[in-house]
Amino acid sequence: MKKRFKLMDLDCANCAAKMEDAIKKIDGVNDASVSFMTQKLSIDADDARFDEIMAQVVAVCRKVEPDCTIQL
| pLDDT at position 7 | 97
Domain boundaries in the chain?
Answer: 2-71
- The predicted pLDDT at position 21 comes to 98
Given a cut of 90, whether residue 25 has pLDDT beyond it is yes
Residues 46, 55 contacting (CB under 8 angstroms): no
Q: Are the beta carbons of 43 and 30 closer than 8 angstroms?
A: no
Q: Is the pLDDT of residue 72 over 90?
A: no
CATH of 2-71, one of 3.30.1380.10, 3.30.70.100, 3.40.50.300, 1.20.1740.10: 3.30.70.100
Task: State residue 63's pLDDT score.
Answer: 96
11 burial (CB, 10 Å; 0-12 / 13-18 / 19+) is exposed
Q: Whole-prediction pTM value?
A: 0.94
The rounded percent of the chain whose pLDDT value lies above 70 is: 100
Burial of 7 (0-12, 13-18, 19+ CB in 10 A): buried
